[in-house]
Chains A and B, each alone.
Chain A
C-alpha cells in the first residue's frame, strides 16, 4: 500500500471567540482517490475544505491538528511558505465560479497567472493543455474572453483548469456543481472522474448532495456539527449506513429512478455556538436508548473495512428500507380546476424582447399534483407568475373553474385570488423581515377571507400546528428562524387563504436535503388532507419522483413531454426527457437494497 497523499490529523478550527467550527477531524486520502465530504449547511464542510489548504477565513483560525499533503505540512508554517504550496501541490475550486473568477481578467490570465506566480514560464502550451484537460477550446478567441462571456458550465471548467494548471497532487472542489443544471453537472462530474483516473490527482469533493457524491467518490466522510460522524468506503457507507444521521440523510435523498416516500430527520440542525454537550446529533436521534450520548462525545469507532462511525449504538442503526410513495388520493372525475391555454409570456420591451414562455397548455384537477420540470431559463417561474397574476401573458389565458382569470392579480376578484396561492423559492425573500410570523400568516386570512383579528389569530395557531411549528413562533421574526422553518411559515401563509390550488415555485431548492424531505412530506400530507391541487415547479427530477402524479417537461418555454410520473421517469421516450433523466444523479447502491 502506498502512503496516503493527504493526511489530516485532529484538525480543529475556531472562531475568534473560541467557539469551534470544526473539531477533531482526521482524514486520509490516496492518490487517484476521491473523498466526498458531505454535510448540510453549518456542518463545517467548507471550513474543513479551506483548512486543507492551510487557510482559514477572516475571524477564523486553525488552532490544533495538522494537514499534510504529499509529505508537506500545510499547518504550523508561515503564510508565505504555505502560499508557495497552494496551487502547486494543492488547489481549490470555489462554489460559485461566477463569483470566484475575477471578472476583469481574461481566460488566459485566469488560468495562466498561477503558473507565473509559481515562477514557471507562462508559455501558451501550459494553458492549452490545462484547458484541453477540461475539454475547453484553447483558441485565441476563447482565451481572450472574460468570465461573463462564458456559460456557467464553462466558467466552472475554467476554474477547474486554473486549479489544475500547476499539476497539483490534490484538488479540493467545494460544491462545484451547485447552481448548474443537471446536464452540465453530469458533464463536470465525468470530467473530474476522468482527471483522477488519467492523472492520478486526489480529489476532495465537498457537497451537500449524497447522490452526486455517491456517484463519484471512493470514500465518503459525513460531517455533522463540525465533526466527522461517519467515514468509510463509499459503497459500504451507502449500502449500510451505520450512523443514524447518515441513514437519515440517505432516506431524505429523492431518487428519480425510484419513486418512494422520503423520510425526514426530525428536529433542526444545530449551528455553530449552539452545539450541545455529548453527541451533537443525540437530541434528534430516534434510536438513542440511554442518556450517555447526551453527556459524552462518542469516539470514532472502527466497524471493519476502514469504516468508522461516531456513535455508541451504531449496531442498532436499522437498514434503510424503501417505502412505496403515498397513494395519491382518488381524483374526482370532475372538470379540471385550472386550465392554461396557449400561454405565451414575454420579458423586456421592444428592443430586448425575450420570450420566456412560448406556448404552454395544461390542466390541473382538484387534488392532483402536477410537476413542471425544466432547466433554468426554461420559463417555468414566469409560468407560475402568470398563473397567480404577477405577470401579464402576451397571449393565451388562465381559466379557473371555467372562468377566465384577469391577467393581473389586482383585476381578479377576491375569491379568485383566494383560491390560487403561491409559495416562492426563497423563504428569506418571500417573508417580510419586519413582520412577525403570526402577522404574516394572519394577513391572507384577514384580507382574502375577511376574518376578524381574533379569528385570524386562532387560524394562525391552527396553521402553525398543521405545518408542525410550535405556536410560540408566531411572535418571532423570520430572521430568527432556520431556512426550513421559514419555508413552513411561507406554506402556512399560503394555506391561510384556504386555497384550492397552491403553486410551489422551486420551494425546496434553497433548502438542505433533510429539510427538503420534511417539506415535501408536509406538502404531500396537506394535499391529502385538504384536497389541495399542487402545481409543483422544480428542476429536480428526484423531487418530482417523490411528490408528483403527473409531470410536464418544459424546454425553452414549450411543453416537450408529459405523462404520469413513474412511467415518464422510468422509461422516458422524448429525447430531452431522457437526457434529463440520465443526467440526474442517483444512488444506485440504495436501490439495490430493496
Chain B
C-alpha cells in the first residue's frame, strides 16, 4: 500500500491534482481568515466592477465579492463531502452484503436500489426537500441517498468477482467471521474500482448540492455559498462578470482536482498488481 501511495504522488496527474485540490480546499477552509469584510456587509454600489479594496467588485446587494467567495467554500465542501462520505459508507455496506450473501438479501437489496435509481436525481431531491424542509441535514442525506444505489451496484459486482477466489475460500475454510472476510480479504481488493470513481461521485455531489442551492431550495440567503452566489447574481453577469466567474472557476477547479486525484489513486492501485503482467 505504501508503495502505491508513493507512486500516486509521483504521477503527474496525482501531483497536479493534489496541489490543485490542496489550494482550493485551503481557500475554502482558511478563506474566512483572510476575508477583508464580513460576508453580509454592504461596502458599495451593487454590481460595481473591480476597485480599490474590492478586487472582484461587488454583488447585487453591494457586498464584497472576494469576501463572499472566501466565506462561501466551506458549505460546498462540507455538504458535498459529507454527502459523498455517507453515500460511500452506505453503498459499500450494502454492496458487500449483497455481493457476498448467497441468500435472498442480495435480490432484495438490489431491487430496492433499482427502485431508487428509477427516480431522476434532482426530482427526488426536490421532493425530499419540499417534504422534509430545507435543512442541511436533509440536503446531505438526500444527496447521499441518490448516490448510494450506484455505489452499491459497483461494490456488489466487484465483491461477487472476489468472493469466489481462492483466498476467500481459504478464509472460509479457516472459519473466519464474515465481517473479517469482508474487511480483510475482499475490501482491499475492490478498493481500486471503488476509488476509481470517488472523484466522479464527489463531483456529482457538488453539482447536486450546487443545483439545489441554485434553485433556492438548499441554503438560504444571506448565507455565502459559491453556488448560491452564482444564482443570486446571474442578472448582473454583464455588469460585473467576476461575481459569476470567480465562484464558478472555484467550483470547476474543485471538481477537476478531485477527479485528477481519483484517477491517479485508481491508476496507482491498479499498477501495483498489474505491473508484472506489463513486463511480460
Q: Is B173 an interface residue (CB 8 A)?
A: yes
Q: Are the CB atoms of A271 and B279 closer together than 8 Å?
A: yes
- With a cutoff of 8 Å between Cβ atoms, the chain A residues found around residue B273 in the complex are 433, 479
The residues in A between 428 and 443 inclusive whose CB is less than 8 angstroms from any CB of B are 429-435, 440, 443
Q: Is B172 an interface residue (CB 8 A)?
A: yes
Q: Are the CB atoms of B188 and A422 closer together than 8 Å?
A: no
Q: Is B231 an interface residue (CB 8 A)?
A: no
- With a cutoff of 8 Å between Cβ atoms, the chain A residues found around residue B175 in the complex are 409-410, 412, 414, 417, 447-448
Residue of B nearest to A446 (CB): B174
- With a cutoff of 8 Å between Cβ atoms, the chain A residues found around residue B276 in the complex are 479-480
Q: Is A273 an interface residue (CB 8 A)?
A: yes
Residue of A nearest to B272 (CB): A479
Q: Are the CB atoms of B189 and A422 closer together than 8 Å?
A: no
The residues in A between 358 and 409 inclusive whose CB is less than 8 angstroms from any CB of B are 385, 388-390, 409
Q: How far is the CB of B196 from chain A (nearest CB, A)?
A: 16
Q: Is A509 an interface residue (CB 8 A)?
A: no
Q: Are the CB atoms of A429 and B167 closer together than 8 Å?
A: yes
- With a cutoff of 8 Å between Cβ atoms, the chain B residues found around residue A425 in the complex are 166
The residues in B between 151 and 174 inclusive whose CB is less than 8 angstroms from any CB of A are 165-167, 169-170, 172-174
Using known A-B contacts A272-B279, A272-B280, A432-B185, determine if residue A448 contacts B172 with beta carbons closer than 8 Å: no
Give the docked Cα–Cα distance between A271 and B280 (Å).
8
Q: Is A586 an interface residue (CB 8 A)?
A: no
- With a cutoff of 8 Å between Cβ atoms, the chain A residues found around residue B280 in the complex are 42, 271-272
Q: Is A426 an interface residue (CB 8 A)?
A: yes
Q: Is A92 an interface residue (CB 8 A)?
A: no
- With a cutoff of 8 Å between Cβ atoms, the chain A residues found around residue B166 in the complex are 424-426, 429-431
Q: How far is the CB of B191 from chain A (nearest CB, A)?
A: 8
Partner of A432, one of B167, B172, B173, B275: B167
Q: Is B176 an interface residue (CB 8 A)?
A: yes
The residues in A between 253 and 305 inclusive whose CB is less than 8 angstroms from any CB of B are 271-273
- With a cutoff of 8 Å between Cβ atoms, the chain A residues found around residue B174 in the complex are 409, 417, 443-444, 447-448, 497
- With a cutoff of 8 Å between Cβ atoms, the chain A residues found around residue B188 in the complex are 432, 434-435
Residue of A nearest to B187 (CB): A434
Q: Are the CB atoms of A424 and B169 closer together than 8 Å?
A: yes
- With a cutoff of 8 Å between Cβ atoms, the chain A residues found around residue B172 in the complex are 389-390, 409-410
Residue of B nearest to A430 (CB): B166
Q: Are the CB atoms of A433 and B189 closer together than 8 Å?
A: yes
Give the docked Cα–Cα distance between A497 and B272 (Å).
30
Give the docked Cα–Cα distance between A417 and B280 (Å).
39
Q: How far is the CB of B278 from chain A (nearest CB, A)?
A: 10
- Number of interface residues, chain A, beta carbon within 8 A: 35
Residue of A nearest to B269 (CB): A434
Q: Is A493 an interface residue (CB 8 A)?
A: yes
Give the docked Cα–Cα distance between A426 and B165 (Å).
10
- With a cutoff of 8 Å between Cβ atoms, the chain B residues found around residue A414 in the complex are 175
Using known A-B contacts A432-B189, A433-B189, determine if residue A422 contacts B173 with beta carbons closer than 8 Å: yes
Give the docked Cα–Cα distance between A440 and B276 (Å).
20
Q: How far is the CB of B237 from chain A (nearest CB, A)?
A: 51
Q: How far is the CB of A477 from chain B (nearest CB, A)?
A: 8
Q: Are the CB atoms of A431 and B167 closer together than 8 Å?
A: yes
Partner of B176, one of A422, A426, A433, A447: A447
Max chain B CB contacts within 10 Å: which of A425, A434, A480? A434
Using known A-B contacts A410-B175, A447-B175, determine if residue A430 contacts B170 with beta carbons closer than 8 Å: yes
- With a cutoff of 8 Å between Cβ atoms, the chain B residues found around residue A434 in the complex are 1, 188-189
- With a cutoff of 8 Å between Cβ atoms, the chain A residues found around residue B176 in the complex are 447
Q: How far is the CB of A197 from chain B (nearest CB, A)?
A: 37
Partner of A429, one of B165, B173, B185: B165
Max chain B CB contacts within 10 Å: which of A273, A412, A435? A435
Residue of A nearest to B280 (CB): A272
Using known A-B contacts A432-B188, A479-B272, A479-B273, determine if residue A409 contacts B173 with beta carbons closer than 8 Å: yes
Give the docked Cα–Cα distance between A202 and B167 (Å).
45
Give the docked Cα–Cα distance between A447 and B170 (Å).
12
Q: How far is the CB of A349 from chain B (nearest CB, A)?
A: 12
Using known A-B contacts A417-B175, A429-B165, A447-B176, determine if residue A424 contacts B170 with beta carbons closer than 8 Å: yes
Give the docked Cα–Cα distance between A315 and B38 (Å).
93
Q: How far is the CB of A331 from chain B (nearest CB, A)?
A: 26
Max chain A CB contacts within 10 Å: which of B165, B175, B279? B175
Residue of A nearest to B180 (CB): A447
- With a cutoff of 8 Å between Cβ atoms, the chain B residues found around residue A424 in the complex are 166, 169-170
- With a cutoff of 8 Å between Cβ atoms, the chain A residues found around residue B185 in the complex are 432
Q: Are the CB atoms of B169 and A390 closer together than 8 Å?
A: yes
Give the docked Cα–Cα distance between A268 and B240 (Å).
71
- With a cutoff of 8 Å between Cβ atoms, the chain B residues found around residue A435 in the complex are 167, 184, 188
**Known A432-B184, A433-B273; 18 more pairs at CB < 8 Å:** A271-B279, A388-B173, A389-B173, A390-B172, A409-B175, A417-B173, A424-B169, A424-B170, A425-B166, A430-B165, A430-B166, A430-B167, A432-B189, A435-B184, A435-B188, A440-B167, A479-B273, A479-B275
A-B contact pairs, 8 of them (CB 8 A): A389-B172, A422-B170, A429-B165, A430-B166, A430-B170, A432-B185, A443-B174, A479-B272
Top 7 A-B residue pairs of the complex, sorted by shortest distance between their CB atoms:
A430-B166, A434-B188, A429-B166, A432-B167, A424-B166, A388-B173, A417-B175
